[in-house]
Amino acid sequence: MSAYPPHGKGAYILGCDGPKLCNNEKAFYKEADPFGFILFARNIDNKDQICALTDDLRSAVGWNAPIFIDQEGGRVQRLHAPLVREWPAPLDHVRQAGDRAQAVIHARYAVIAQELKQLGITANCIPTADIARKQTHPVLKNRCFGQNAKIVSQMAEAAAKGLLEGGVLPVMKHMPGHGLAEIDSHLAAPHTDASLEMLENVDFKPFRALNQLLMGMTAHVVYEAIDPERPGTISPAVHKLIRKSIGFDGLLISDDLSMKALGGNAESRANAVITAGCDVVLHCNGQLDEMHAVVEAAGQMGSKARERAARVIRMHCALSQREVDISQLTAQLDTMSQN
């Protein structure tokens, strides 16, 4: 297999239906040429099965495509014991670790990265750089690292560096900030009436601190002070702030198109995402008919998106060569957690 494009030009990351690919999926992926794939619990059975699935996904497209997952630890982790280690929710782990929190979070995500890498999974949709509030919806709250910009920035940076040390690409989320959302964006579009000044001085800060990361994910949140009509993922005004105010020039990926915060069907959602300024559409549910519509609507990446994607792929290739002693990291983490 080749390790670098001309493959992967499709402006989409796609899911798959189950633990094994069918012939129709293989043929579709070959033709669609996605930038990468994402796995969920429905795709997980055992180590040999996961390794076979990640191999088959890459064989279908003919190159070493990135394979993503949400393995935050705590409530959101697609892989569980005995396959991998179980973790507290990030907010709880930071509190438990006290003064050692940065070192603990770094080691935690280095261990997670090695667990993923051994299964052929090479990108993790973490760190969550959202700031928790009293009113933050429970679907997100304990997935955050803290309740102020300084702590969140420090922990998100530690998490990203840990993933990279372990050989896996991080994807920071949910830009430009999801912590003010009081409803679940899987079910409807959250709104916040926070002023732009407050967003700039609080919620944007962790993302600004991590703006050199190569990938970021958008938030399906309506920021009324910026665009009162559209969630950030499909708002050109929000995208402009991500690029200019936050200063992020990495590959910008939408949150999942299947979430109900976005109106319309899969085709209209994909078109709105690309039109607003996202580089890549994320479609997770693995339904083949929807994936056909998404591929048709999103098309291939533009030239600027391809430049950003090329930086990701260069790092992806470099990380694939990195070896880390996971037993040493685990021992260090256990020692820090006990003291």
Residue 2 confidence class, pLDDT cut points 50, 70, 90: very low
Among residues 45, 56, 184, 186, which one is catalytic? 186
Distance CA 331, CA 328 (A): 5
pLDDT of residue 5: 63
Is the pLDDT confidence value at 3 over 50? no
pLDDT computed for residue 203 by the predictor: 97
Among residues 70, 203, 255, 279, the one annotated as catalytic is 255
For the ranges 167-171, 202-206, 322-326, the lowest mean pLDDT is seen at 322-326
- What's the first-to-final CA gap in the chain, in angstroms? 47
Residue 229 CB-density burial (10 A; 0-12 exposed, 13-18 middle, 19+ buried): exposed
The better pLDDT of the pair 3, 282 is held by 282
Fold of 10-338: TIM Barrel (3.20.20)
Query: For residue 1, what pLDDT is reported?
Result: 42
Tell me, what's the pLDDT at 28?
A: 98
Nearest-angstrom CA–CA distance, 39 and 51: 12
Tens digits of per-residue pLDDT, 158-201? 999 999 999 999 999 999 999 998 787 787 888 999 999 999 99
Q: What pLDDT, on the 0 to 100 scale, is given for residue 183?
A: 85
Range with lowest mean pLDDT among 33-42, 55-64, 327-336: 327-336
Q: Where are the domains of the chain?
A: 10-338
- 203 in catalytic set: no
Per-residue pLDDT, averaged over 205-214, amounts to 98
336-339: long-range contacts, CB 8 A cutoff, minimum separation 24: 336/97, 336/100, 336/103, 336/104, 336/107, 337/96, 337/97, 337/104, 339/100
The question of whether 255 is a catalytic residue gets the answer: yes
| Residue range 303-328: mean pLDDT, rounded | 89
Which residue has better confidence, 260 or 269?
Answer: 269
pLDDT band at 316 (very low <50, low <70, confident <90, very high): very high
What is the model's pLDDT at position 4? 40
Q: What is the pLDDT of residue 339?
A: 65
- Residue 208, pLDDT > 90, answer yes
pTM, entire model:
0.95
Residue range 58-98, pLDDT digits in tens: 999 999 999 999 999 998 999 999 999 999 999 999 999 99
Inform me whether the pLDDT recorded for 278 exceeds 90. Answer: yes
pLDDT at 101: 96
Proportion of the chain above pLDDT 90, given as a percent: 87
CA atoms of 159 and 155, how far apart (whole Å): 6
